[in-house]
Homo-oligomer: A and B are copies of this chain.
Amino acid sequence: MRVSAKADYAVRAAAELAAVEDGPVKGERLAEAQDIPLQFLEHILLELKHAGIVRARRGAKGGYWLARPPEEITIADVIRAVEGPIANVQSAPPESVHYRGKAEHLVEVWIAVRANLRAVLEHTTIADVTSGKLPKAVKRLAASPDAWEHR
């Protein structure tokens, strides 16, 4: 139930990339813009590249850019690229766990949790983040004052 530094960095880097329309952006510039350790960031960008989210060129004038338009890249895509599956129970996907006794219906709860996570992460795109124009459902969730309370 936590967002790792890696996932956080990955989304932030992607958001920064989405804001640049022309040409490749150096890793160093991304690192500075988002205050991320450069060498760690390059590992992350490499994973994003392997997942086909980012492309890169080396050498002078090299750098990174998004492989697809940012409206077609969801936050879920980015997180899955660097972290794998979004919701696990005990390192296994929820639909594969088997409960006995009085806990049988717990599996439905975990499935519902995952569905609600996906509802936000698969419908918010990188373009939404950079522009601040989040999907209506997400805006509504974030607008409620007690969503901001700690507990």
Cβ of A85: which chain B residues have Cβ within 8 Å of it?
150-151
Q: How far is the CA of A138 from the CA of B144 in the complex (A)?
A: 20
Asked if A103 and B15 sit within 8 Å, CB to CB, the answer is yes
Q: A134 contacts which of B99, B100, B109, B121 (Cβ < 8 Å)?
A: B109
Question: Dominant SS at the A interface?
Answer: helix
A71 at the interface (CB under 8 A from B): no
**A109-B124 CB under 8 A given contacts A1-B3, A100-B35:** yes
Asked if B3 and A110 sit within 8 Å, CB to CB, the answer is yes
Asked if A108 and B142 sit within 8 Å, CB to CB, the answer is yes
Asked if A2 and B91 sit within 8 Å, CB to CB, the answer is yes
Q: Can you list 25 A-B contacts with CB-CB less than 8 angstroms, sorted by A residue number?
A: A1-B2, A2-B88, A3-B87, A8-B90, A8-B106, A11-B103, A11-B106, A15-B102, A16-B101, A16-B103, A33-B100, A34-B101, A80-B151, A95-B148, A105-B128, A109-B120, A109-B121, A109-B142, A111-B141, A112-B124, A113-B120, A114-B147, A115-B147, A116-B117, A118-B147
Q: How far is the CA of A48 from the CA of B88 in the complex (A)?
A: 23
For the complex formed by this chain, how many copies does it contain in all? Answer: 2
- A146's nearest neighbour on chain B, judged by CB, is B115
Interface residues on A, range: 35 or more
Asked if A103 and B88 sit within 8 Å, CB to CB, the answer is no
A44 at the interface (CB under 8 A from B): no
